[in-house]
A and B are shown apart, each in its own frame.
Chain A
Amino acid sequence: MSSLTDDLIAVLGRDRVHDGVAHRSLYRKDASNMEGATSVVCLPRTTDEVRACVESANRHGVPFVARGSGTGLAGGAVPLDGEVVISLSRMTDIVSVDPVNRRAWVQPGVLNLDLSNQLQHLGVHFAPDPSSQQTCSIGGNVANNSGGPHCLAEGVTNAHVLAVKVVLPDGSVTVLGGDDPEPVGYDLRGVFVGSEGMLGIATEVCVKLTQNYPAVRTMLMDFADVSDGAATVSGIIAAGMVPAAIEMMDQLCLEAVEAYIHAGLPVESAAALLVEVVGLPHELEHQVERIVAIAHEHRVNDVRVAQDEAERQLLWKGRKSAFGAIANIEPDYYLHDTVVPRSKLPDVLEQIYEIARRHELQVLNVFHAGDGNLHPLLVYDARIPGTIERVHAAGREIVEASVAAGGALSGEHGIGLEKRDYMHLMFSDVDLAAQNALRCAFDPEMRANPGKVLPSPSSCAEINAIPKPEGAWI
């Protein structure tokens, strides 16, 4: 029998199949600090080619891992044990656009920001805006159900995906969901979004496009106390407003970013909120007025309103360059992602500071405050012996504290490898068996991205979500 690599070369040609050391080492990890091993990397350009890659892998009994841009932070695209990596990065076409009904079919390798930039002339954009939007792919966004600051009002990726053309784990090709609003049957589109490459490979996505805003107002508000900032967030929501974005940065983060971009950020303050309101002029003015009033009720120091687009861009740059800025503090960072009810923000933030203190680590917080999505960023120097262990111990406590506060394990980065073994914190065995049942319906042989998300048994035969009762009625 020919080798798997030979089979893949027969399909894609030699220049799009790589089993050399350089490629294998590049594709054995993503943007997390986890790594595994791949035997061969292939770069298909069409749905048919993806199918042929999957079929080749299946023939050789080797599982496969889909990969977009590799910016995932939970190890989702990390091949654990010699899997074939199927990279969608060559599939970058915008296939068709319907500007009236605001939707487009795109290939999964299209980069998030490229999509919005290329459609700008139509007055639309793709709403989910992860901080990694210059480099992450639409396929990765779909697989991770990614979010971003502007998902507060617009919703995360799932709300912006109408249909997905997929290559299923057995190599068959079909469309989940549809360009029509009520395709018959179960919402298979809905479960595919966020399935982290375990239900098949997306080879074309029908995305919903969002009308650009007629007017925008961006404000930076700073507070002497983190809990005043957090209370302002709850106050805004309680008043019946859902601004386009409400982001928070704490003092250490403000300092780091200010040193990096010199935007005149309030570095003396304990926390700052970046609030963006969009829409038609009267509603916008009305909301800005009420939001400022709520901030004053909670002792805001200063409200800085961006005077023009340049200043608005600068404030957003401050928010989005946090990751670059921290490189000036310590060489390494570990970014966490949990969610808590908005009203628990002050409480859980306090716990996070305490956990970091106890483990002698520095922590910066820069996060989507509007939906309670925390991003504690632990900064450290991995060269110092014992540090990594402390980082992991602190991380675990942060996750536990968030779940204990009535929260969730992840708000947007996904479970992947990173949090697979934390799933029990949030779900019972019965809950997990139900998730496994879905996975096994799509992939009974566990060929697609095995070993992720679910702390799983070794085969689908072992999974018996519904034990058949003795003498059951059939």
Chain B
Amino acid sequence: MDLTEFAEEVGAAGPVTIAGLATRGGPVDGVRTVMAPTGIEAFTPDEMTVRCGAGTPMEELDDALARHGQAVVIPPTGTVGGALAVGRSGLRRLGYGPMRDALLQARFVNAAGELVTAGGPTVKNVSGFDLCRLLVGSWGTLGFLAEVLLRTRPLSAFEQWFTSTADPDQLLRSLYRPTSVLWDGSHAWILLEGHRDDVLAQAAEHDLTPADPPAELPTGGRWSMPPSELASLVGRDGRFVAEMGVGIVHHERPAPAPTVDASIVELHRRIKARFDPTGRLNPGVDVLARS
């Protein structure tokens, strides 16, 4: 399906919802459903960019990139567009940065059924307001992603998980750019990447023991906390694994309800009113209620 057909399918009137592979909750029930175009259009390893339909499964994208020793900073499940619309980074955010930075350019279908281009075609660009930032994490409430241009990154030569009982703050202070430091209140898991000899040297210097990553993460709630407050989780109810230096907590208990400032609520209302005045895109989805 080409982008114009997709835009026509979204149309200009009536409620409509978009489906990926339903790994993150799926489309809105009882509403006409569309699916974004799929397939990789152009992968240019020497630009470190890839252009693909937003409906492309992450697995397909990851496979194609890995063949050239590259990857994108997007968690590996569902579709590209679904992952971007939800906007949640994976466990390697400490080292790779948040996944929102991977989106360079987006073509999306707005509430009037028109194709809109946001961002720019190059790895660096500051031309105008960057609507890509607004789309990542917008849960399809402002427009439906049709096609995206993503920044890729090189896969490292070597990676290894380790474990340690050292104070995780101490590890954060002294390790050089770990990709991930997880902590459950007593044990830390550390992912190091790079040249094998550097990884092993850092591990030896910090007394790290090779280990598997934590077998499974608690799924009761996904908490978002200032990382300086993570130590306060200890001794409270419920098992957790925290992403140190980042502030995501995978917790047995549901996340506490966030408090949202009145000015922020008002900005959300105005943005939604400007981008989707009749509320037809993913009706009923409230981005401020998500947690």
Query: Residues of A with Cβ closer than 8 Å to B?
Result: 98-102, 144-145, 147, 151, 155-156, 158-159, 168, 172-176, 178-188, 190-191, 193-195, 211, 214, 234-235, 237-238, 240-242, 279-283, 286, 339-343, 368, 371-373, 406-415, 419, 423, 426-428, 430-432, 434-435, 437-442, 444, 453-454, 465-469, 472-474
Contacts and interface: CB of A to CB of B under 8 A. Distances in A.
A11 to B, nearest CB: 21
A282 B136 contact: no
Given A410-B127, A423-B128, 4 more contacts: A190-B136, A280-B202, A283-B195, A415-B127
A47 to B, nearest CB: 13
A280 B175 CA distance: 11
Contact of B129 (A279, A373, A439): A439
B227 to A, nearest CB: 4
Contact of B245 (A101, A339, A438, A472): A101
A404 B89 CA distance: 34
10 contacts: A175-B261, A180-B226, A182-B224, A191-B131, A193-B133, A237-B48, A341-B47, A414-B126, A430-B116, A474-B278
B211 interface: no
B39 interface: no
A282 B134 contact: no
A472 B267 CA distance: 24
The CB with the most chain A CB atoms within 10 A, among B69, B110, B202, B287, is that of B110
A36 to B, nearest CB: 21
A412 B110 contact: no
B130 A472 contact: no
Contacts of B172: 100-101
Contacts of B15: 473
Chain A interface helix/strand/loop/mixed:
loop
B138 A465 contact: no
A145 B153 CA distance: 21
Contacts of A427: 117, 127-128
B87 interface: yes
Contacts of A99: 173
B49 to A, nearest CB: 8
B166 interface: no
A282 B197 contact: yes
B14 interface: yes
B26 interface: no
A348 to B, nearest CB: 12
Contacts of B89: 181
B247 A371 contact: no
A280 B176 contact: yes
The CB with the most chain B CB atoms within 10 A, among A194, A279, A280, A428, is that of A280
A60 B270 CA distance: 25
B137 A187 contact: yes
Contacts of A465: 110, 112, 274-275
A315 to B, nearest CB: 23
A255 B33 CA distance: 62
Contacts of A467: 112
A100 to B, nearest CB: 5
A205 to B, nearest CB: 16
Nearest to B169: A100
A473 B14 contact: yes
Interface in B158-185: 169, 172-173, 176-177
A187 B124 contact: no
A44 to B, nearest CB: 19
A242 B14 CA distance: 47
B61 interface: no
A318 to B, nearest CB: 23
A194 to B, nearest CB: 5
A414 B114 CA distance: 27
Given A182-B88, A184-B291, A441 B270 contact: yes
B191 to A, nearest CB: 15
B204 interface: no
B121 A408 contact: yes
B290 interface: yes
B123 to A, nearest CB: 5
Contacts of B273: 441
A187 B131 contact: no
B276 interface: yes
A453 B258 CA distance: 35
A340 B122 contact: yes
A239 to B, nearest CB: 9
Contacts of B93: 181
A170 to B, nearest CB: 9
The CB with the most chain B CB atoms within 10 A, among A371, A408, A426, is that of A408
A474 B129 contact: no
Contact of A187 (B128, B133, B153, B246): B133
A185 B287 contact: yes
Contact of B277 (A172, A191, A431, A466): A466
B120 interface: yes
Nearest to B89: A181
Given A181-B93, A191-B133, A214 B124 contact: no
B176 A211 contact: yes
Contact of B123 (A211, A372, A428, A453): A372
The CB with the most chain B CB atoms within 10 A, among A178, A185, A282, A440, is that of A185
Nearest to A433: B116
Contacts of A286: 195
Contacts of A426: 120, 127-128
Contacts of B5: none
A469 B112 CA distance: 8
The CB with the most chain A CB atoms within 10 A, among B194, B267, B276, is that of B267
Nearest to A414: B126
A159 B116 CA distance: 24
B275 A466 contact: yes
Contacts of A440: 274
Contacts of A408: 120-122, 124-127
A280 B200 CA distance: 11
B136 A406 contact: no
A147 B124 contact: yes
A102 B247 contact: no
Given A434-B110, A438-B134, A472-B278, A155 B120 contact: no
A181 B248 contact: yes
B282 to A, nearest CB: 14
Given A100-B228, A186-B137, A406 B128 contact: no
